[in-house]
Amino acid sequence: MASSFVELDVRPILRAGGEPFEAIMGAVSKLGPGQGLRLLATFKPVPLFSVLGARGFAHEAQELAGGDWEVLFRPEEGASQPPSAAAETGSADASDWPAPVQHMDNRDLDPPEPMVRILAATEALKEGDVLSALLCREPIFLLPELAKRGHAWRGAFEGDGKTYRILVRIGAAGKAAA
Amino acid sequence: MTGVTLSRWTMSYFAAALVALMAAEAMMAVGYGFPAAAIAAPETLILVHVVAIGWLSLLMCGALLQFLPVLVAQPLYSNALALPALVSLVVGLAALILAFLQLDGRIAPAVPFFAIAAALLIAGFAFVLWNLARTMAAAPTMPLPARFVVVGLAGVTFTVVLGATFALVLGGTVDYGPLVALTTAGLPIHVVAGLGGWLTFTAMGVSYRLLAMFMLAPELEGATTKAALLLGAAALGMAIAGGILAVLLGGNPSLALLAALAMGVLALALYGADVLHLYRARRRRNIELNSRMAAYALVSLAASVVLTLLLLAIRRLGDHAAAVVFLIAFGWLSGLGLAQLYKIVAFLTWLECYGPVLGKGPTPRVQDLVVENRAGKWFLLYFIAVWAGAAALLAGLPLAFRFAAALLLVATVGIVAQLVRTRRLADVKDAARLPQGARPPRLLLSCQP
């Protein structure tokens, strides 16, 4: 039922090697009621489907000539209210998070070593600190463990579609839910 | 996306499945069913269904309840639904065995066991299908391995519907002409839908992800994988829809099955090429026992394809169908299943026991829960016994086959003992076994606080 779409072309950011996630979430937060987002990217931005799906957007993706992708994110009826922070700690916009105090590259570790190291690192950090880690797949068994320990996170595949970057903010889930 | 937690009843599915596997091997070792009895005799039907439903289907259902959520990155729709499904399947199988014994005249036909078995097995598989379908429907994406599972689930649907039709006709509940015709001529379609559609297709889908995950190989989403999916689905459609149509029109399904075989072999060749690529492109040089043993299962799959084509060429496939089915069921499906169980049980047990305390102090690694050298010997014996058994069937040596089946049982008991030790943390050093805050896992049930 979207009457209009705001267009956002993140291809220049991606081609320059940048991370368009914040630009996309910024554009989404500025959408008016009933407005959708027309996103142009150099790859099929699969992780966004669940992130924006949690915010009440349906998606329609189509490949354009030259391998680029156009995705229409359309607000679903009855889903205009913002999602509850408690349920969606994973999808929360991280643009207001402080810069990570620790970076890890866990891409070449045998599973489940990436999960072990991230959890060990979270135990050593202070409340409010942010940890950044690179992985080679979505850490589906790690996420419930982070939630149980009260940490907030957000993650998505990078532009190459192979590297998954997760940001974990220590002890932030309880605060967001309050 | 909130991640995936442990499937509560998966270990119970695995345990029931392993009991059925050992029971089936014991039956073969004592000479129950084929080759001592005829291939269509009630004894053989009992043996085949203990393997197909009791072992392979319960194994696959238990694994899917845990790993389909991983494939589609979506929590399982219902943990609670998994238990009534398991109970329905197990009691349904028991009823089916009693019904076959009625067919044999060993027990009185007073109770309609065929109708009871049909109702319970339909209910059990429907619970599992509903649970998995709702999980997939809620998922944001459907990667290729999950699409293989969708085709596999279509395969089990047709297998169960055909099986229930046979049961109702054999039990005398139904005497509608076309359904009687389907029961007389439809057995090969039921077998292809079950072994090919449900079990092999689902195993292919899950193996794409598990092999990539455990060997640190890139996920395959290219043209060969898509073509394997489409050709395989077309082969099954041809075998099932074409076969049923041929029977209902009064013909026989052989032509449809041959056309399906041609497409199926191409699909398997593409799958084989993909799997070779996964092994070659892996970043992990020293792979673990599950991935090494999976290679023997894949070799068994390739051998059964070659054997099928050879037998077809010399027009002897009808005489030796049992050897091919044995190699597919025990070499490929059971071999892959046992190999991956070895890793899955260790990983799920580790996650259940140590997940809550990771990072808070020293914890054992997943590999500390297993002793691969010890388990490897049992696996080797297992595969040698499978290949010897297939050779004995081909050569028409029933006694040699029984000897091979006995070895198979010994090897399986050895592997199951390793799985129980893993679940009990028996191979973890005493001092490290239970760090503060960790609770020992239960044998048959997974609980997460």
Cβ of A143 and B70 within 8 Å?
Answer: no
Are residues A114 and A153 part of one domain?
yes
The pLDDT, as a whole number, for residue A85 is 36
Is A84 within a domain? no
Are residues A94 and A63 part of one domain?
no
Domain of A36 in residue numbering reads as 5-75
The arithmetic mean of pLDDT across residues B121-143, rounded, is 95
Q: Which of A23, A51, A75 is the last residue of a domain?
A: A75
Which chain B residue has the Cα nearest residue A149? B356
Cβ of B213 and A121 within 8 Å?
Answer: no
Cβ of A116 and B351 within 8 Å?
Answer: no
Are residues A108 and A44 part of one domain?
no
CB neighbour list of residue B96: distance below 8 Å, 6 or more residues apart? B49, B53, B113, B114, B117, B121, B167
Are residues A98 and A58 part of one domain?
no
**Does residue A114 have a cis peptide bond before it, meaning omega lies within 30 degrees of 0?**
no
Is the CB of residue A49 less than 8 Å away from at least one CB of chain B?
Answer: yes
pLDDT band, very low/low/confident/very high, at A174 (cuts 50, 70, 90): low
Is the CB of residue B31 less than 8 Å away from at least one CB of chain A?
Answer: no
Is the CB of residue A144 less than 8 Å away from at least one CB of chain B?
Answer: yes
Distance from CA of B78 to the nearest CA of A (A): 16
- pLDDT, tens digit, for every residue of B282-332? 988 889 999 999 999 999 999 999 999 999 999 999 899 999 999 999 999
B57: DSSP letter: I
Beta-bridge partners for A36? A5
Are residues A62 and A101 part of one domain?
no
pLDDT band, very low/low/confident/very high, at B16 (cuts 50, 70, 90): very high
Is the CB of residue A106 less than 8 Å away from at least one CB of chain B?
Answer: no
Cβ of A140 and B3 within 8 Å?
Answer: yes
The pLDDT, as a whole number, for residue A26 is 81
Are residues A115 and A161 part of one domain?
yes
Is A81 within a domain? no
More confident: B227 or A100: B227
Q: Flag the least confident range among A93-102, A116-125, B53-62, B321-330.
A: A93-102
Helices (H), B176-315: 177-185, 187-191, 201-215, 223-237, 243-248, 254-280, 289-313
3-state helix, strand, coil in chain A (%, to 5): 30, 25, 45
Is the CB of residue A86 less than 8 Å away from at least one CB of chain B?
Answer: no
Cβ of A50 and B73 within 8 Å?
Answer: yes
pLDDT band, very low/low/confident/very high, at A23 (cuts 50, 70, 90): confident
Whole-number Å distance between alpha carbons of B339 and A107 = 25
Chain B residues near residue A116 by CB distance under 8 angstroms: 358-359, 363, 365
Whole-number Å distance between alpha carbons of B121 and B161 = 10
Is A25 within a domain? yes
Is the CB of residue B3 less than 8 Å away from at least one CB of chain A?
Answer: yes
Chain A residues near residue B69 by CB distance under 8 angstroms: 140
Q: Flag the least confident range among A23-32, A33-42, A108-117, B283-292.
A: A23-32
Q: What is the ipTM, given to two decimal places?
A: 0.85
Are residues A136 and A58 part of one domain?
no
CATH number at residue A65: 3.30.110.40
Whole-number Å distance between alpha carbons of A132 and A106 = 10
Q: Is the pLDDT of residue A80 over 80?
A: no
Residues 3-42 of A with CB under 8 A from B: none
Nearest CB to A120; choose among B214, B355, B359: B359
Q: Which of A75, A102, A134 is the last residue of a domain?
A: A75
pLDDT band, very low/low/confident/very high, at A91 (cuts 50, 70, 90): very low
Is the CB of residue B126 less than 8 Å away from at least one CB of chain A?
Answer: no
Are residues A100 and A69 part of one domain?
no
Beta-bridge partners for B299? none
Q: What is the pTM (predicted TM-score) of this model?
A: 0.84
The pLDDT, as a whole number, for residue B213 is 87
Is A70 within a domain? yes
Nearest CB to B360; choose among A91, A121, A123: A123
Whether the CB-CB separation of B111 and B52 falls below 8 Å is answered with no
Q: What are phi and psi of B145, to 5 degrees?
A: -55, -35
Q: Is the pLDDT of residue B337 over 80?
A: yes
- Tokens encoding B77: 């729709």
Is A80 within a domain? no
Maximum mean pLDDT: which of A33-37, A100-104, A131-135, B380-384: B380-384
Q: Which of A75, A98, A130 is the last residue of a domain?
A: A75
The pLDDT, as a whole number, for residue A68 is 87
Cβ of B2 and A53 within 8 Å?
Answer: no
Is the CB of residue A122 less than 8 Å away from at least one CB of chain B?
Answer: yes
Cβ of B140 and A140 within 8 Å?
Answer: no
Minimal CA–CA distance to B248: which of B310, B181, B326? B181
Residues 128-187 of B with CB under 8 A from A: 140-141
Is the CB of residue B286 less than 8 Å away from at least one CB of chain A?
Answer: no
Are residues A129 and A64 part of one domain?
no
Q: Flag the least confident range among A71-85, B64-78, B389-403.
A: A71-85
Is A107 within a domain? yes
Q: Is the pLDDT of residue B280 over 50?
A: yes
Q: Is the pLDDT of residue A86 over 50?
A: no
Is A22 within a domain? yes
pLDDT band, very low/low/confident/very high, at A93 (cuts 50, 70, 90): low
Cβ of B141 and A49 within 8 Å?
Answer: yes
Q: Rounded to whole angstroms, what are the CA distances from B280 to A132, B273, B289, B311?
A: 31, 11, 17, 31
Cβ of B140 and A119 within 8 Å?
Answer: no
Distance from CA of A84 to the nearest CA of B (A): 14
Which chain A residue has the Cα nearest residue B284? A110
Q: Is the pLDDT of residue A82 over 60?
A: no
- pLDDT, tens digit, for every residue of A129-142? 999 999 988 898 99
More confident: A86 or B262: B262
Q: Rounded to whole angstroms, what are the CA distances from B370 to A52, B31, B338, B345, B429?
A: 42, 34, 14, 10, 11
Whether the CB-CB separation of B61 and B88 falls below 8 Å is answered with no
What's the whole-number average pLDDT of chain A? 80
Which chain A residue has the Cα nearest residue B347? A112
Nearest CB to B351; choose among A91, A110, A141: A141
Are residues A57 and A105 part of one domain?
no
Minimal CA–CA distance to B42: which of B150, B219, B229, B170? B170
The arithmetic mean of pLDDT across residues B70-92, rounded, is 95
Nearest CB to B73; choose among A115, A118, A140: A140
Are residues A106 and A69 part of one domain?
no
Are residues A117 and A60 part of one domain?
no
Minimal CA–CA distance to A146: which of A126, A169, A129, A125? A169
Is the CB of residue A160 less than 8 Å away from at least one CB of chain B?
Answer: no
Q: How many whole angstroms from its chain centre is CA B42?
A: 22
The pLDDT, as a whole number, for residue B305 is 96
Nearest CB to B2; choose among A90, A136, A137: A90
Whole-number Å distance between alpha carbons of A172 and A153 = 9
Is A82 within a domain? no
Chain B residues near residue A141 by CB distance under 8 angstroms: 3-4, 351, 355
Report the number of distinct structural domains present in chain A. Answer: 2
Distance from CA of B77 to the nearest CA of A (A): 16
